[in-house]
Structure 1
Amino acid sequence: MKTITYYFSPQSPWAYLGHAQLMAMAEKHQADILPRPCAFGTQVFPVSGGLPLKQRPAQRQEYRLIELKRWSEYRGIPLNLHPQHFPVDETIAARMIAATIKLEGNAAALALTGALFRAIWAQERNIADADTLIEIGNNCELDGAKLYASLDSGSELFEQYTQEAIANRVFGAPWYVYEGEPFWGQDRLSFLERALAKTGSA
C-alpha cells in the first residue's frame, strides 16, 4: 500500500488549500495518508530558520496575500484573507487531532483536520475555543466531548510528531513525504501525484 506522511499546522492556510486535493489524490491512487499535526511556530521554525507571520518582512506578508487569493480562486476553495481568529493558539486543536488518530484512526483525524481548516478560513470560528472544538468534532460524526477530554492522550503523540518532523528536516507546512521524497507546499501536489502514478505503473 502506498503511504503519504502529511505534516501540517492546523491553522495553515496552505495546508487548507491543498487538503481536499490531497484526499482526492490519495483515493485515486489508493494511498494511505498518515496525518502528523506539528508545532511549527514554537518548535519547527526555531530550528529550521522559519519565522512566524508577524515577524516576516512586509513585502513577504503582502505577497503572501496575493498568493492566497490566487490559489483560493484557482482551486475554487473559499478563503477569507483576514479571518477573525488568526493567528490562533492551535495547540489544543492539534492535540485533539492527535487524540483522534489514537482513538479513531487516520481517516477520522483527516476529516476533523479538514473541518478545522474550514472553521478558520471559511467560517470565522475559533479553534482555540473548547465548545467550538467539541461541536466541530460532533459535526464530523465523532464524539467531540470524548475527544476533547482525551487531549492529554494526544499531547504525547503531538510532541512525537513534532520531533519526528524536526528529525526529518521538515521546515514548512504542508509537507508531504512519499517513499522518502519530500514535497513542501500544496503547490507541489502535482509532483506528488506524478510520484504516486509512477509507482503505480511500475
Structure 2
Amino acid sequence: MSHTIDYYFAPQSPWTYLGHQRAWDLANKAGATLRVMPVDLGQVFPISGGLPLGKRAPQRQKYRLVELARFSEALNMPLNVEPQFFPVPGDDAARVIIAVDQAHGAQAAMAYTGAVLTAVWAQQRNIADAQVLAALLQECNLDASCMARAQTPEVQATYAQNTQSAIDAHVFGAPSYVVDGEMFWGQDRLDFVARKLGV
C-alpha cells in the first residue's frame, strides 16, 4: 500500500528542525508520497487554543528550553536553545519553500527546508532576511529565481491553502504528520509514524 504524508510545519520551529531529516528518511524508506506543506501558525494557534511562545506561562517556556536541550543531545543534533534570530517570522521562508516545491519538487523542497531550519537553530542566521534565503538557495544548488517566484499570487495562495488544510485536519502545532488521514503531532511521535508506515 502506498502512503501519503501531509507534512505540516513552520520553518522557524525547533521541533520541526529536530524531526525533519527523520521524517524524510521514514517517507523514503516507506516509499510514501510526502507533501511539503509549510503553514502560518499565527492563524492556526488562535483557532486551536495555542499561544505564541512569548504569551505562554513562564514554567512552560522554561521547560521548553530543557526539552530542546534534551532532544538535541539525544539526537546528536546541534541546537542553540535560544538562537540569536528567534522569534523570527517564518512567512517569507515558507513561501520560498513552496516556490522550490513548485519548481523542483518535494525532494528539493525538503532539502531547502532542512537548510532553513538549520540556519535558525544551528547557524545563528536570520531567515527573515531575503539575502539569507537567497544564499540558502545557492547552498542547496537551487535556482535563484525561486526568490521571485515566492512573491507570486500562486505561491501565496498555496500558503493560504496549506494553512486552511492544516486547520481542517485539526492540526494545532508543528510539526504535524498526517498519514492517510491520521494525525501525529510532534517529532517525538515519529515512532508511531513509522508503525503507521510499516517500516
Structure 1 SS opposite 2:194: helix
User: What is the rounded CA distance, in whole Å, between the counterparts of 1:161 and 1:192 in structure 2?
Assistant: 21
1:158 paired to 2:147: no
- Contact 1:5/1:176 (8 A) holds in 2: yes
- Contact 1:97/1:154 (8 A) holds in 2: no
Tell me the CA shift for residue 32 of structure 1: 2.0
1:127 paired to 2:124: no
Q: 1:79-94 alignment to 2 at 5 Å?
A: 79-94=79-94
Tell me the CA shift for residue 164 of structure 1: 0.8
Q: Structure 2 counterpart of 1:46, which letter?
A: P
- In the other structure, the counterpart of 2:37 is 36
Q: How many residues align?
A: 196
Tell me the CA shift for residue 136 of structure 1: 0.1
- In the other structure, the counterpart of 1:51 is 51
Q: Gapped runs of 5+ residues in structure 2?
A: none
Q: Structure 1 counterpart of 2:36, which letter?
A: P
- Contact 1:8/1:174 (8 A) holds in 2: yes
Q: Between the two proteins, what is the percent identity of the paired residues? A: 51
User: What is the rounded CA distance, in whole Å, between the counterparts of 1:158 and 1:101 in structure 2?
Assistant: 12
Alpha-carbon deviations, 1:143-193, whole Å to 9, x = none? 13x011112232111111001111111101000011111000000000000
- In the other structure, the counterpart of 1:147 is 146
User: What is the rounded CA distance, in whole Å, between the counterparts of 2:168 and 2:28 in structure 1?
Assistant: 28
User: What is the rounded CA distance, in whole Å, between the counterparts of 1:73 and 1:26 in structure 2?
Assistant: 24
Q: Structure 1 counterpart of 2:124, which letter?
A: E
- In the other structure, the counterpart of 2:195 is 194
CA RMSD of aligned residues (A): 1.0
Structure 2 SS opposite 1:6: strand
Q: If the length of structure 2 is used for normalisation, what is the TM-score? A: 0.96
User: What is the rounded CA distance, in whole Å, between the counterparts of 2:180 and 2:158 in structure 1?
Assistant: 22
Q: Structure 2 counterpart of 1:186, which letter?
A: Q
Q: Gapped runs of 5+ residues in structure 1?
A: none
Structure 2 SS opposite 1:72: helix
- In the other structure, the counterpart of 1:10 is 11
User: What is the rounded CA distance, in whole Å, between the counterparts of 2:98 and 2:161 in structure 1?
Assistant: 10
Alpha-carbon deviations, 1:122-156, whole Å to 9, x = none? 00001011111001011111013x01111223211
User: What is the rounded CA distance, in whole Å, between the counterparts of 1:72 and 1:30 in structure 2?
Assistant: 28
- Contact 1:116/1:136 (8 A) holds in 2: yes
Alpha-carbon deviations, 1:85-128, whole Å to 9, x = none? 11111111011111111121111111110000000000000101
